[in-house]
Structure 1
């Protein structure tokens, strides 16, 4: 188990930014967008390097997952999604097609 499970998502995000995961990715219209770089990616152009799962402090149904991603262009960043009943199913299907580095789920 990673110590990140004990930290709030905001602290994990800060730790990851210090490790070089500085870009924020967004999923829309069936593609992954890096708005700061004005680039768009398809599933095979990204690699999921780690996953972090969080449960809401007051409501266990308020659960999130944070992905660390690397692109074929060398960008490193993060992407978040709800998981469970509130997850974005289209995003999950997109990520299922992405490359996966031999990574841990924290």
Structure 2
């Protein structure tokens, strides 16, 4: 069953399902505001990335332990995830990057 946007109980559940659907890369956002693929050392500008899904999580024992998981795809077809803190602890660099990528998380995909 395909779930979209905030429909997982745990981050582990979300990551495993996303991996099964091809989101296998572990991306990160660098200090200079580009998406980095640690496997190939390639970087991507926001204009080269689409946001397909996002999932927010609160810690079971500490509600202030919040995180967000982004499922993205690059213009080269690589699909993967970016993890960040959510709320006051979130990275301004990650937020700024995600605000400039193509927002595709509400479109139906195969």
Aligned to 2:89: 86
Q: Which of residues 60, 64, 67 in structure 2 aligns to 1:64?
A: 67
- Offset, 1:4: 6.0
TM-score w.r.t. the length of structure 1 is 0.89
- Offset, 1:7: 2.1
Answering whether residue 20 of structure 2 is matched by residue 18 of structure 1, we say yes
CA distance in 2 between counterparts of 1:92 and 1:76 reads: 19
Structure 2: 5+ residue stretches without partners:
none
- Offset, 1:38: 2.0
Q: Which of residues 34, 38, 43 in structure 1 aligns to 2:41?
A: 38
1:44–1:36 Cα change, 3 Å: same
1:10–1:65 Cα change, 3 Å: same
The Cα offsets for residues 51-91 of structure 1, whole Å up to 9 and x where unpaired, read as: 00100111111101100000000000000111111000111
Decide whether the 8 Å contact of 1:49 with 1:70 is kept in 2: yes
